[in-house]
Each structure stands twice: as C-alpha cells, then as structure tokens.
Amino acid sequence: MTQNTKDRVAKENNYRQHIIDQLSIESGQVENCRPEQGQQMYADKLEARIESLKSMMDDMTEKSRHMEGELREKFDRDRKELDSRIQRLKESLSDIRGAGEAAWKQMSSGTSKAMKELIDGIKTAATRF
C-alpha cells in the first residue's frame, strides 16, 4: 500500500467518524424536540434538525463524487431513500404546523420516530466512505 493510499484511507476513516460524531449530536438534539415545549417550539426545533441533516447529506454527496462502481451505486440508492424520508418529514412538519392542539401532539411521536430512522439511514450511508 502506497503512502498516498494510506493517507486517502485515513482521511476517509476520519471523515466517516466525523459524520458519525455529528449524527450522535443530532440524535441528542432530536431528543430535545419535545412536544411539551409547545407546538411552535417543537416545529422550529424539528425544522432545524431536518435542515442540519439535509446539509450533512449534501456534504456527503459532494464527498462521494470520488466513489466508483458498486459503492457509488449503493450510496446513490441510499441518498434517494434519504431524500424521500426528508421530504416526508417536511410534509409532517407542515402538517404539525397546521394541526390543532390535540392532533399535533399525536403526530409528534411518529415524526420523532421518523427523524430517528433518518439519522440511522444517514449512518448507514456514511459507512460507504
């Protein structure tokens, strides 16, 4: 293994660990999105988490440009699935913002679960690096 290859592998490992560390932080932030804080606060925090995760996915997509073959195909499939999840979360967020008092609290548990699943999906995509 050449020094350039070793350096590239080390850089990829560091990047993967950085993403996983960020996702751990995001996961903790999701835990702080609690319905008890009120509808507006919950929606605002949820929106911030969605945007942060989308930004991470955009960064991963940019970094994935050097990938080839099967790894690239798997990452592209992961990205499409994650984009779909992000879109569904944005729709849920819109529904929560427009819902009545009792309805949005019921919706929040499903939305929080979907957010955790999105984070797990991003972790899986990060393993492609």
Question: Can you give the pLDDT of all 129 residues of the chain as single tens digits?
Answer: 788 888 877 888 888 888 888 888 887 777 667 777 788 988 998 899 999 999 999 999 988 888 888 888 888 999 999 999 999 999 999 999 999 888 888 888 889 889 989 999 998 888 877
Query: What's the CATH code of the domain at 26?
Result: 1.20.120
Return all residues near 90 (Cβ < 8 A) that are at least 6 apart: 50
State the Cα angle at 123 between 122 and 125, rounded to 5°: 60
Query: 67, 44 in Cβ contact below 8 A?
Result: no
pTM above 0.95, yes or no: no
How many distinct structural domains can be found in the chain?
1
Residue type at 71?
L
Q: What's the distance, CA 5 to chain centroid?
A: 29
Q: Which domain does 113 fall in, by range?
A: 3-126
Distance, in Å, from the CA atom of 61 to the CA atom of 44, rounded to the nearest integer, reads: 26
